[in-house]
Amino acid sequence: MRVKRQKRHRKSVRFYTACYGFRQPYKVLCDVTFVHHLVTNRITPADKAISNVLGAPVLLFTTKCAITELKQHGPMLGPSYSQSLEAANSLITARCDHESHVSAEDCILDVVGQSNSEHFFVATQHVDLRRKLLKIPGVPAIYALRTALLLESPSDAQHQFVKASEEQRLHMTDLEYKMLKKKMNIPNSLKINDPAGEEDGSGDRNMEAQAVAKRDTARIGLGVKDKVQFKRKRAKGPNPLSCKKKKTKKPDLHSAQEGKDGDATLRSRKKRSRSRKGKKTLEADG
């Protein structure tokens, strides 16, 4: 069962990573009910336990409204209240724009928003809150069952949103077709029904701007980037450790010895010529 659960978790994480642009380290927004469950069941350290579920390092967050709710209703939780409050205060506080205190459920829904632009995994023990979150595109939910942590599988609504977004990106709109026809001079036989004002230059510019904006919003909705994030690796020079070292030529002892012998013979010849010249001069004087 544990192996099947890990495979299901990895599949869900790949879905959110590929389709909604989640990146490591994953950010987990924890509800106070989830924090209290971790404390009472002694699931520590919490970040390591959640990272084992997601298969990557994580950062744990909570909200001010959730901590305030824990302070108000904490004594009802029993003797573990102080430990839960201390654990909640040790988490990173996510920004919420609530001037007055609201419930933790409403605060989490407001922080996530309609598209979960911050890419939060939400950890909560509220069943109703998890159902609401799974209806929002790109919001994965985590919950605990005794000492086991589980990741909800993507809902049908999230799958349908991904399919609709992909279809919108693949098909060419009327405005994009007009831009393509203007640049590539498509013949009139392939012309589609265009609205009035097509030949106007200002209208074309406006339509181009609208097409680009529509395309960008469709791609931003999924959190997917068009450009490659990493530089392409190019071929480099050979590895110096795998290359042979250049051989240095050793001096030839035989040639060196011959050179020394040649110098000696030259010196002896010079001495002989000098001695012969000296004898001739002496005989001439005598």
1-160 classified as CATH 3.40.50.1010: yes
What percent of the chain lies above the pLDDT cut of 90?
Answer: 29
Report the Cα 15 to chain-centroid distance in Å: 15
* Residue type at 107 in one-letter notation: C
User: How far apart are the C-alpha atoms of 19 and 223, rounded to whole Å?
Assistant: 8
Confidence of residue 199 (pLDDT cuts 50, 70, 90): very low
Task: State the CB neighbour count (10 A cutoff) for residue 83.
Answer: 15
Q: What is the pLDDT of residue 226?
A: 53
| pTM (predicted TM-score) | 0.60
User: How far apart are the C-alpha atoms of 116 and 139, rounded to whole Å?
Assistant: 6
* Cβ-contact 39, 6 below 8 angstroms: no
Report the Cα 214 to chain-centroid distance in Å: 25
What percent of the chain lies above the pLDDT cut of 70?
Answer: 69
Q: Which residues pair with 123 in a beta bridge?
A: 30, 142
Q: How far is CA 139 from CA 8, 20, 163, in A?
A: 17, 9, 16
Ranges of each domain in the chain: 1-160
59-64 mean pLDDT: 92
Residue with tokens 């709109």: 173
Please write the tens of the pLDDT for every residue from 201-210.
555 556 656 6
User: How far apart are the C-alpha atoms of 251 and 270, rounded to whole Å?
Assistant: 29
Q: Give the chain's largest Cα–Cα span.
A: 144
